[in-house]
C-alpha cells in the first residue's frame, strides 16, 4: 500500500537558499553594542577599578628638567669674512644632545660630590646604565633648546642628578675646547719664536749692509724703479701665501692631534670655514641617524613603562639602538678622516703656491741685483725684514687673542633653567591612567561583546531570519505579558482581546498568508517549530480564530499525537472525540469534529493516545481523512510535533499544501532553525514563511521583528 512518505521525493528541493556565514548574520554594530551594553559597562567598571588599584599601589616618580641653550663655537685663528658659509648647526645641536647621554658625561657626573650616596643609584649593577635608563635628552621642535630630564622616585635626587650631568657636560665641553685652542696656540707660538729670531737676523743684516754702503743714505728710489715695485708686489703676495700656508699647517697639525676624538675634532672643524666654503657641508646622514637614534631611545623609555627590561621587544630595541650607535660612530670616524684629508690637501696646495711665489720672487730678485746690485740688495733685505715683521705682528696679535680666550674659556652653554625638585609626580598620571583604563575597558568590552555575539546562536531579527532561511517573515507576535496566562487565554487572545497588539499581530500573519499563496495552493497548512515549547499551538489557535473572523471556514486539526494542546485551549474532552478514534476506525470524521462556539471555526482534537503516531499519520486512513476535510473547509490548520525531534512533522508537511515555521524569540537558534527548514525542504514542503513568537516588548529589539518581511 502506497503511503504519504512513499509519494514524496527523497531529495532536497532544488534552489535551496544559500545559508550565509554566521558572521554576516550578526546585527548592525550599534545593535550589537546596545544589546551587550551591560557587558561593556561591566568591563569598563572592572578596567576603571584596575586603574584605581594601579594608582593606589604604583610608586610615584618625579621628573626634574634643566633647559640649555648651546651655541656653536670653535677656534678661529685668523679673522676673515665668513658670510655665506654653510655650517653644520643641525648636526651640531643633535651631537650635543647625544653627548649629554654619553658614557663620558655620565661617568664624570658620577664623580661629582654627593652622587655616591644617592638612593636612586643604590641598586646593584652598572650605575651608568641606571642613570641612562632614567635620563631623557630632547631638542625642542620649535626652538634649539636642549631639555635634560631625569625621572626618579626621589624628587630631590632627580634634580641633583640632572644638575650634576649638566655641570659635567659644561666642564667637559670647556676642557675639550681648551684642548683644541691650546693645540692651535702652541703651534702658533712655536712659529712666532722662529719668526722672531728670523726677524732679528734680517734686521741685523739690513743695518750692516746699510753701514757698509754709505751711498744708500742718499735714497734708494724704490718708488720709481719698476723692478723694485714688482719685487715689492711679489713680496706681498709671498707673505700672504706664507700666512695661508702657516694657517693650513696649524690646522693640519691640530686635526692630526685630535683625529682620535671626533667630537673634539668636530669643535675644531667649526672654525675651518675655508674647508666648508670649498667642499660644501658634510652629508646630512648623521642628522638622520641621530634623529632616528633619539626617537628609538624615546620609544624604548615609553616601552619600559609597560614592559620589563628583559622583554623581547625591549631587547630588540636595545639591539637596534646599539647598531645605530655603531653606525653613528662610524660616520663620526669618517668625518674625522675627511677633515684630516681636507686639511692636508689644503696645506699641500698652500705650500705649493708658496714655493711657486718663492721661485718668482727669487727670479725677480736676481733681475734687481743685475740692475742695481746695491739698491736691489738693500731692497731685498728691507723687503724680507718687512715681510717677516708683518708676519710676526700678525702672529703676536692672534696669540694674544687666543690666549685671552683660552684663559677665559669658551663658555657657549647657557643654563636657561636649572633642575628643581618636582612637587608633583610625573608618573603615574591619574587622568592619563584612568583614560587609558577606560579606553582599554571600552575596547575590551566591545571585543567581549562581539565574541559573545558570535557565540550566541539565537536569531535576532527578521532580516537575519530571512537571510538565514531564504524565506520571508510573516510576522512577529509580542510576548503576552506577566503573570503567565493559561493556554485557553493565550490560545484565544484574538477572541478575548481583539484590540490588543497580539491580536493585531495574528491578523497581520493571516494577511501575509492570504497574499503569500492562493487559497487553492495553501488550503492545508501544517504549523511546526524546530523544538518543543516555541508556541506553535498558540499560534495555530489564534490564527484559526483570525481566519474564521475573516469569513473563512476553518478547521484546526491537532495532529500532535505525542503532546497535544488544542483540547486545552478550547476546553474540550479529547477522550470522547478526536483524531485517534478516526484513525482507529471507531468514529467517522464528521462525528469526531467539534464546534468551538465561534462561527466558521471547528476543531478536531487528537483524541486518545495512539501507539505509533508516525505510522498512523503515514497511513491511507489519515490521507483519506485529510482529503475529506479538504473538501469541506476553506483552510485546514494542522498542529504538528517539532520538525527536528520526530518524523511526524515531515509526514504532515509532505501531505499538506504549505508549511509555516514558528520560531521563539528567546529559544530558537540558528542551528535548530536551519535544521527544521532543511528537514521540511527534504520532503519538498512549500514553506510560506516564518512566524516569530513571544517577542519581549520591553526589549528594543522587538522593533526588529516588526521590520519589513524581506
Confidence class of residue 189 from pLDDT cuts 50, 70 and 90?
confident
Q: What is the pLDDT of residues 683-692, one digit of tens each?
A: 999 999 999 9
Residue 198's CB is within 10 A of a number of other CB atoms, namely: 17
CB-based contact 195:243 (threshold 8 Å): no
Cell of 468: 538565514
Confidence class of residue 708 from pLDDT cuts 50, 70 and 90?
very low
CB-based contact 462:710 (threshold 8 Å): yes
CB-based contact 494:546 (threshold 8 Å): yes
CB-based contacts of 181, cutoff 8 Å, min separation 6: 75, 402, 405, 406, 410
**Tell me, what's the pLDDT at 73?**
57
**Tell me, what's the pLDDT at 546?**
95
**Tell me, what's the pLDDT at 78?**
47
The residue with greater pLDDT, 127 or 189, is 127
Kindly tell me the burial class for residue 224, based on how many C-beta atoms sit within 10 Å of its own C-beta (0-12, 13-18, 19 or more): exposed
Most confident of 302-316, 380-394, 449-463, 578-592: 578-592
Most confident of 47-51, 173-177, 452-456, 666-670: 47-51
| 3 state DSSP class of 525 | strand
The per-residue DSSP string of 216-236 comes to GGG---TTT-HHHHHHHHHHH
> Strands (DSSP E) along 467-610, which ranges?
473-478, 524-528, 554-558, 594-595, 601-604
Q: What is the pLDDT of residues 597-610, one digit of tens each?
A: 899 999 999 988 88
Q: Is the peptide bond before 411 cis (omega within 30 degrees of 0)?
A: no
Q: Inform me whether the pLDDT recorded for 87 exceeds 50.
A: no
What span, in angstroms and rounded, lies between the C-alpha atoms of 339 and 335? 6
Most confident of 31-40, 236-245, 269-278, 285-294: 236-245
Q: What is the pLDDT of residues 483-527, one digit of tens each?
A: 567 888 888 999 999 999 999 999 999 999 988 887 778 899 999
Sort strands 62-70 and 413-417 into parallel, antiparallel or unpaired: antiparallel
Taking the CA atoms of 348, 349, 350 and 354 in sequence, report the sign of the dihedral they define. Answer: positive
**Angle (CA) 79 82 88, round 5°:** 120
Instruction: Look over the chain and give the mean of its residue pLDDT values, rounded to a whole number.
Output: 78
Confidence class of residue 377 from pLDDT cuts 50, 70 and 90?
confident
Q: Which whole number is the average pLDDT over 299-321?
A: 83
Q: What is the pLDDT of residues 461-494, one digit of tens each?
A: 777 788 888 899 999 888 876 556 788 888 899 9
**Tell me, what's the pLDDT at 86?**
37
> Strands (DSSP E) along 490-546, which ranges?
524-528
CB-based contact 604:555 (threshold 8 Å): yes
Q: Inform me whether the pLDDT recorded for 697 exceeds 80.
A: no
**Tell me, what's the pLDDT at 427?**
79
Q: pTM of the predicted model, to two decimals?
A: 0.47
The residue with greater pLDDT, 389 or 48, is 48
The residue with greater pLDDT, 283 or 64, is 64
**Tell me, what's the pLDDT at 10?**
35
- The secondary structure of residue 18, as a DSSP letter, is P
What span, in angstroms and rounded, lies between the C-alpha atoms of 276 and 27? 69
For each of the domains in the chain, give its residue range(s) and CATH number, in order of start. 28-58+438-456 (no CATH), 64-417 (no CATH), 460-705 (3.40.50.300)
Q: Which whole number is the average pLDDT over 418-427?
A: 84
User: Whose CA is closest to 338, among 229, 435, 259?
Assistant: 259
Confidence class of residue 264 from pLDDT cuts 50, 70 and 90?
low
132-141, 399-408, 425-434, range with the lowest pLDDT:
399-408
What span, in angstroms and rounded, lies between the C-alpha atoms of 53 and 440? 15
Classify 230 in phi/psi space as left (phi over 0), alpha (psi -120 to 50) or beta: alpha
What percent of the chain is modeled with pLDDT above 90? 19
Q: Which whole number is the average pLDDT over 636-645?
A: 92
68-82, 395-409, 484-498, range with the lowest pLDDT:
68-82
Greatest alpha-carbon pair distance for the chain in Å reads: 174
Residue 617 vs residues 396, 623, 640: alpha-carbon distances, Å? 129, 8, 10
**Tell me, what's the pLDDT at 385?**
76
Instruction: Specify the DSSP element, H or E, that contains 190.
Output: helix 155-212
Instruction: Specify the DSSP element, H or E, that contains 202.
Output: helix 155-212
Confidence class of residue 698 from pLDDT cuts 50, 70 and 90?
low
Helix pair 670-681, 648-655: axis angle to 10 deg: 50
**Tell me, what's the pLDDT at 2?**
43
Amino acid at each position: 500500500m502506497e503511503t504519504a512518505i512513499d509519494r514524496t521525493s527523497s531529495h532536497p528541493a532544488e534552489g535551496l537558499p544559500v545559508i550565509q556565514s554566521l558572521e554576516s548574520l550578526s546585527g548592525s554594530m550599534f545593535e550589537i553594542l546596545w544589546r551587550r551594553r551591560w557587558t561593556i559597562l561591566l568591563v569598563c567598571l572592572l578596567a576603571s577599578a584596575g586603574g584605581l588599584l594601579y594608582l593606589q599601589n604604583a610608586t610615584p616618580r618625579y621628573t626634574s628638567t634643566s633647559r640649555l641653550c648651546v651655541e656653536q663655537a670653535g677656534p678661529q685663528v685668523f679673522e676673515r669674512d665668513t658670510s655665506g658659509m654653510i655650517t653644520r648647526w643641525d648636526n651640531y645641536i643633535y651631537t650635543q644632545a647625544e653627548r649629554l647621554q654619553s658614557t663620558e658625561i655620565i661617568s664624570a657626573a658620577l664623580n661629582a660630590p654627593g652622587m655616591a650616596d644617592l638612593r636612586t643609584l643604590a641598586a646593584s649593577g652598572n650605575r651608568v646604565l641606571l642613570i641612562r635608563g632614567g635620563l631623557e635628552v630632547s631638542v625642542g621642535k620649535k626652538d634649539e633648546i636642549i631639555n635634560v630630564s631625569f625621572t626618579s622616585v626621589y624628587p630631590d635626587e632627580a634634580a641633583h642628578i640632572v644638575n650634576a650631568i649638566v655641570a659635567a657636560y659644561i666642564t667637559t665641553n670647556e676642557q675639550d675646547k681648551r684642548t683644541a685652542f691650546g693645540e692651535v696656540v702652541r703651534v702658533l707660538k712655536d712659529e712666532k719664536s722662529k719668526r722672531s729670531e728670523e726677524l732679528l737676523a734680517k734686521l741685523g743684516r739690513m743695518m750692516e749692509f746699510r753701514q757698509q754702503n754709505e751711498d744708500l743714505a742718499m735714497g734708494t728710489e724704490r718708488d720709481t724703479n719698476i723692478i723694485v715695485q714688482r719685487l715689492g708686489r711679489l713680496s706681498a703676495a709671498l707673505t700672504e701665501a706664507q700666512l695661508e700656508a702657516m694657517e693650513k699647517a696649524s690646522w693640519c697639525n691640530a686635526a692630526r692631534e685630535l683625529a682620535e676624538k671626533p667630537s673634539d675634532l668636530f669643535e675644531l672643524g667649526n672654525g675651518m670655514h675655508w674647508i666648508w666654503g670649498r667642499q660644501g657641508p658634510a652629508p646630512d646622514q648623521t642628522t638622520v641617524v641621530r634623529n632616528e637614534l633619539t626617537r628609538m631611545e624615546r620609544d624604548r623609555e615609553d616601552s619600559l613603562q609597560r614592559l620589563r627590561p628583559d622583554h623581547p621587544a625591549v631587547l630588540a630595541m636595545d639591539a637596534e639602538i646599539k647598531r645605530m650607535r655603531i653606525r653613528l660612530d662610524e660616520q663620526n670616524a669618517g668625518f674625522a678622516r675627511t677633515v684630516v684629508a681636507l686639511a692636508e690637501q689644503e696645506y699641500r696646495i698652500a705650500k705649493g703656491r708658496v714655493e711657486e711665489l718663492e721661485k718668482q720672487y727669487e727670479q725677480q730678485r736676481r733681475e734687481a741685483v743685475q740692475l742695481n746690485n746695491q739698491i736691489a740688495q738693500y731692497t731685498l733685505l728691507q723687503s724680507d725684514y718687512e715681510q717677516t715683521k708683518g708676519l710676526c705682528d700678525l702672529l703676536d696679535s692672534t696669540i694674544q687673542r687666543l690666549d685671552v680666550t683660552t684663559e677665559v674659556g669658551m663658555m657657549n652653554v647657557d643654563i636657561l633653567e636649572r633642575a628643581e625638585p618636582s612637587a608633583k609626580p610625573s608618573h603615574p598620571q591619574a587622568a592619563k591612567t584612568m583614560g587609558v583604563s577606560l579606553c582599554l575597558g571600552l575596547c575590551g568590552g566591545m571585543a567581549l561583546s562581539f565574541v559573545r555575539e558570535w557565540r550566541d546562536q539565537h536569531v535576532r531579527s527578521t532580516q537575519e531570519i530571512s537571510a538565514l532561511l531564504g524565506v520571508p517573515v510573516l510576522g512577529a507576535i509580542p510576548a503576552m505579558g506577566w503573570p503567565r496566562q493559561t493556554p485557553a487565554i493565550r490560545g484565544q487572545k484574538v477572541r478575548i482581546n481583539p484590540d490588543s497588539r497580539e491580536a493585531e499581530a495574528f491578523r497581520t500573519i493571516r494577511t501575509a498568508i492570504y497574499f503569500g499563496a492562493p487559497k487553492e495552493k495553501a488550503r492545508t497548512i501544517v504549523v511546526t517549530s524546530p523544538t518543543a515549547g516555541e508556541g506553535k499551538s498558540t499560534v495555530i489557535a489564534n490564527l484559526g480564530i483570525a481566519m474564521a473572523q475573516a469569513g473563512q471556514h476553518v478547521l484546526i486539526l491537532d495532529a500532535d499525537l505525542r503532546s497535544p494542546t488544542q483540547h486545552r485551549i478550547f476546553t474540550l474532552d479529547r477522550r470522547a472525540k478526536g483524531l485517534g478514534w478516526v484513525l482507529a476506525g471507531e468514529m467517522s470524521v464528521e462525528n469526531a469534529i467539534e464546534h468551538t462556539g465561534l462561527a466558521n471555526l471547528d476543531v478536531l482534537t487528537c483524541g486518545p493516545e495512539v501507539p505509533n503516531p508516525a505510522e498512523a499519520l503515514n497511513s491511507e486512513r489519515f490521507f483519506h481523512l485529510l482529503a475529506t476535510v479538504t473538501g469541506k473547509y476553506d483552510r485546514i490548520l494542522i498542529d504538528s510535533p517539532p520538525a527536528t525531534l520526530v518524523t511526524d512533522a515531515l509526514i504532515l508537511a509532505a501531505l499538506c499544501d504549505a508549511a509555516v515555521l514558528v520560531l521563539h524569540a528567546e529559544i530558537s537558534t540558528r542551528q535548530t532553525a536551519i535544521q527544521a527548514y532543511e528537514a521540511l525542504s527534504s520532503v519538498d514542503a512549500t514553506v510560506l514563511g516564518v512566524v516569530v513568537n513571544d517577542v519581549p516588548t520591553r526589549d528594543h529589539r522587538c522593533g526588529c521583528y516588526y521590520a519589513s518581511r524581506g
